[in-house]
């Protein structure tokens, strides 16, 4: 996984993004420790969005649209941190919808439920890495 600062910056991107993004999908998978092969940009067109493959063990699988599909985001969370407690809540206020997520006591809010869950998950991983680094006596920032 990436450094805690990188995970927190990616969590901020997840919270501020207003629509699904395949490049962000690949960035999230990479941040969670997967090896990702992105589709070359010269093959991307209107009908073939950027995406790619990720490696899980010896297998290569199609990159899930974690920025658009809450089921994909939940699947990643359950795979990477099966024992963590989490929740996602939809809040409707004056004809606008927003989401709040809580993962391992780390919160996030945003306009897309799947990305809000990803943001909270990335913050939880950043906190866990920061705690692990502090336990080893390593500096948590460069």
- Between CA 5 and CA 142 the distance in angstroms is 9
Q: Tell me whether residue 86 is in a domain.
A: yes
The per-residue pLDDT for range 63-72, each reduced to its tens digit, is 889 999 999 9
**Which range of residues forms the domain containing residue 116?**
4-136
DSSP reduced 3-state for 54: strand
Q: Tell me whether residue 141 is in a domain.
A: no
Q: Tell me whether residue 58 is in a domain.
A: yes
| DSSP states along 117-138 | HHHHHHHHHHHHHHHHHHHHT-
> Is 0.75 topped by the overall pTM?
yes
Domain count, the chain: 1
| DSSP states along 3-49 | -HHHHHHHHHHHHH--S--HHHHHHHHHHTT-EEEEPPGGG--SSS-
The per-residue pLDDT for range 93-139, each reduced to its tens digit, is 777 779 999 999 999 999 999 999 999 999 999 999 877 665 566 65
Q: Which of 58, 68, 5, 57 is nearest to 31 (CA)?
A: 5
pLDDT value at 62 more than 90: no
Q: How confident is the model at residue 142 (pLDDT cuts 50, 70, 90)?
A: very low
The per-residue pLDDT for range 75-98, each reduced to its tens digit, is 999 999 999 999 999 988 777 779
Q: Tell me whether residue 142 is in a domain.
A: no
């Amino acid at each position: 996984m990436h450094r805690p600062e990188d995970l927190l910056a990616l969590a901020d991107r997840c919270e501020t993004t207003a629509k699904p993004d395949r490049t962000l999908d690949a960035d999230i998978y990479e941040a969670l420790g997967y090896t990702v092969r992105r589709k070359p940009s010269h093959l991307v067109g209107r009908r073939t969005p950027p995406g790619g493959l990720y490696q899980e063990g010896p297998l290569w699988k199609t990159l899930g649209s974690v920025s658009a599909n809450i089921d994909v985001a939940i699947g990643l969370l359950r795979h990477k941190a099966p024992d963590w407690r989490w929740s996602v809540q939809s809040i409707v206020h004056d004809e606008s919808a927003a989401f709040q997520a809580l993962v391992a006591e780390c919160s996030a809010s945003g306009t897309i439920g799947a990305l809000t869950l990803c943001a909270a998950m990335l913050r939880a991983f950043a906190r866990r890495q920061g705690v692990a680094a502090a336990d080893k006596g390593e500096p948590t920032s460069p």
